[in-house]
């Protein structure tokens, strides 16, 4: 019947439009989980259960576990708006080189948890920073919340089995740091030891949807250092 055919066509068009919007913003294929599981505890294995969009123009979807390194995985929270992200790029690149670079068994994966930033803008910013890591889009902060991350530049490090062994700051000095917390954790893991520092209670970096909020850390650290440093 003509009326029913029109309704069927309209329904198909609505479904297609919905898929295109989801694909553009990196929300995930239809049927993707709306909310992530509880926050990952230290020592727990990261099993995600949803897929995140890559940054190519043709949508590709990844479970983070597909990108795990054989020996360790560094997961970095990322945002275009946060000035800390560009500021620490060279520090992290130095750690990447010092711990073996390509072929070392250490995977470096960033995820953009800023809701208003799309894959094209992310890719352009990565080119300006000469980024060395794989990137996923996480606009609903599914991965961020699973990892217990609330702001850009926070890092979570997994061992070769995908278990969380470090979560927190890159280092404790916004102006002159050397990503030593990340470096030490990776050095310990690659030597077969548990990281000497498992978590920090703070990290410099902008809260999601709160650009430049990290600049308070540009001030010198208080006497005695910051908590957990």
Least confident of 1-15, 131-145, 154-168, 196-210: 1-15
Q: Which domains are present in the chain? A: 2-218 (3.40.30.10)
Q: Mean pLDDT throughout 7-28?
A: 44
Q: Note the pLDDT of residue 103.
A: 85
Structure tokens at 162: 């995908």
Q: How confident is the model at residue 220 (pLDDT cuts 50, 70, 90)?
A: low
Q: Distance between CA atoms of 172 and 163, rounded to whole angstroms?
A: 24
Q: Mean pLDDT: which of 95-104, 200-209, 213-222 is highest?
A: 95-104
In this prediction the pTM is 0.79
Sort residue 108 into left (φ over 0), alpha (ψ -120 to 50) or beta. Answer: beta
According to DSSP, the β-strands at 155-159 and 164-168 are antiparallel
Closest CA to 54 of 119, 109, 142: 119
Closest CA to 67 of 88, 78, 85, 52: 52
For 66-111, how does the pLDDT look when each residue is reduced to its tens digit (9 = 90+)? 999 999 999 999 999 898 899 999 999 999 999 887 888 999 999 9
Q: Note the pLDDT of residue 206.
A: 87
């Amino acid at each position: 019947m003509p009326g029913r055919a029109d309704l069927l066509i309209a329904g198909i068009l609505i479904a297609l439009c919905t898929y295109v919007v989801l694909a553009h913003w990196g929300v995930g294929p239809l049927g993707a989980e709306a909310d992530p599981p509880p926050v990952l505890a230290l020592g727990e294995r990261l099993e995600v259960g949803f897929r995140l969009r890559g940054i190519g123009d043709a949508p590709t979807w990844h479970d983070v576990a597909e990108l795990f390194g054989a020996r360790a995985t560094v997961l970095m929270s990322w945002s275009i708006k946060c000035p800390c992200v560009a500021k620490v790029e060279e520090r992290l690149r130095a750690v990447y080189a010092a711990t073996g670079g390509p072929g070392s068994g250490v995977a470096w994966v960033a995820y953009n948890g800023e809701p208003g930033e799309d894959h094209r803008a992310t890719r352009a910013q990565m080119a300006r920073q000469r980024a060395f890591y794989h990137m996923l889009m996480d606009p609903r902060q599914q991965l961020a919340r699973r990892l217990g991350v609330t702001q850009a530049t926070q890092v979570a490090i997994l061992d070769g089995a995908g278990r969380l062994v470090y979560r927190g700051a890159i280092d404790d000095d916004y102006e002159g740091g050397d990503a030593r917390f990340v470096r030490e954790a990776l050095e310990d893991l690659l030597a077969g030891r548990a990281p000497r520092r498992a978590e920090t209670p703070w990290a410099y970096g902008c809260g999601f949807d709160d650009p430049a909020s990290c600049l308070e850390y540009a001030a010198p650290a208080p006497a005695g250092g910051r908590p957990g440093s």
